[in-house]
Structure 1
């Protein structure tokens, strides 16, 4: 990698952190994607988190983390979940700190995976954004390490199952190690990879892909048929299945 490429990556990283200033507006847009009906659900989750977590929003010390099973039994290859030869690619643009993304992992992903990924109709990939703040950057870099072990989706879903309060500082090395281990990831290898230029490049690629397709909020789902162009799925009232059927 040349010095110029490194400078460009670092500049993109700085721009991503600056984009955190726009997080309030982005969070409002996220609710439009999954429908206003999720507001109450998120409120319930937030209340439960306050009761069950420590003061910084992280799971209590010594408490076992929850493990998501939504992707169990589904093969993953370099971050792509499902049959690599599936004719349709669905991409989810996410931020690991996004509470609406965490809700989608429980309410939207299971149907998508059971009805489309497991049946070979669709393969699923993720672009891990990092605009909500430093904790998003830290988590996204470790997610890149999990992807190297073909465990990206297990890491993402397990992180969501244990998500804390945005930018509360709960995304520590210890927390990430616990998430990785619970998800079946080699935690030490993933954290070591997080400090590499390749991990930084994954963040830059996510930014570039999001800008190219117009994904300016999370979660955003896109669809690509074969070698066609990537298109944003217009999801109304949280009904991803209806939007996918219409697109197909």
Structure 2
């Protein structure tokens, strides 16, 4: 009886002992995708500390913003809207190379013209860019707006104020400029002048006596600029 009792305890202890789990195949996690560029949001820091800050900048006699040597022999007149996809593509991709090749050496200057073809938001953003010019940041804010053109259909005012503040523009002064519509008459007059000049698409580029419509390759600009320089 005693032997049977001891045998029962041994069997129960064996059944209660922990059993090591069987090894299982380890799944290899998929490789982490490295983004090709850092996502940006309206509240993120500006992607540039200056947009070709070494170049002269200012207003033409008509009040249009220019970048480059004001006495450059060739003028690249840009008609553009801050909510325009093709305009953004040109500004972010082609324009920096265009500046490096033709504006930095002094062969050409860029003059920016406001189109207000996409409603009240276009007008607000055009006014905002001119308010930024009061602080020497027209070209910087312009680039930041184009970098986020598809985010500007909602909370437009708050977004542009945040972007301006991120560029070091005093928030109160910038907001006061927007509230006073300091540059509304100017941007509206610019748009009216563009319409009178026959500009109905976007973007449009006038170089010499030639007109280019839509985003273009750098090579196309080079050919037109070279022809304009020879006239």
Compute the TM-score of the two structures, normalised by the length of structure 1: 0.64
Deviation at 1:144, TM superposition (A): 1.5
Q: Higher helix fraction: Structure 1 or Structure 2?
A: 1
Q: Which residue of 2 aligns with 1:232?
A: 211
CA 1:234–1:147 in structure 2 vs 1: closer, same or farther (change >3 Å)?
same
Q: Matched residue of 1:108: which SS?
A: helix
RMSD, aligned α-carbons: 3.0
CA distance in 2, matches of 1:236, 1:104: 5
* 1:56-82 CA-partner distances (Å, limit 9, x unpaired): xxx36x544433754343231132111
- Whether the 8 Å contact between 2:130 and 2:183 is mirrored in structure 1 is yes
Instruction: Tell me the CA shift for residue 236 of structure 1.
Output: 8.3
Retained in 1: the 8 A contact 2:210–2:224?
Answer: no
TM-score normalised by length of structure 2: 0.68
**Matched residue count:** 187
- Residues 213-222 or 176-185, more deviating: 176-185
User: Partners in 1 of 2:141 and 2:128 — Cα distance?
Assistant: 9
Gaps in structure 1 of 5+ consecutive residues: 1-47, 54-58, 225-229
Aligned equivalent of 1:153, options 139, 161, 182 = 139
Tell me the distance in 1 between the aligned counterparts of 2:183 and 2:216: 34
Structure 2 CA distance for partners of 1:198 and 1:178, relative to 1, 3 Å: closer
Q: Does 2:82 align with 1:82?
A: no
- The correspondence for 1:221, drawn from 188, 192, 205, is 205
Which deviations, in whole Å up to 9, do the C-alpha atoms of 1:70-123 show, x marking residues without a partner?
434323113211112222222211111111111111221112211111111112
**Residues 152-171 of structure 1 mapped to structure 2, 5 A cutoff:** 152-165=138-151, 167=153, 169-171=154-156
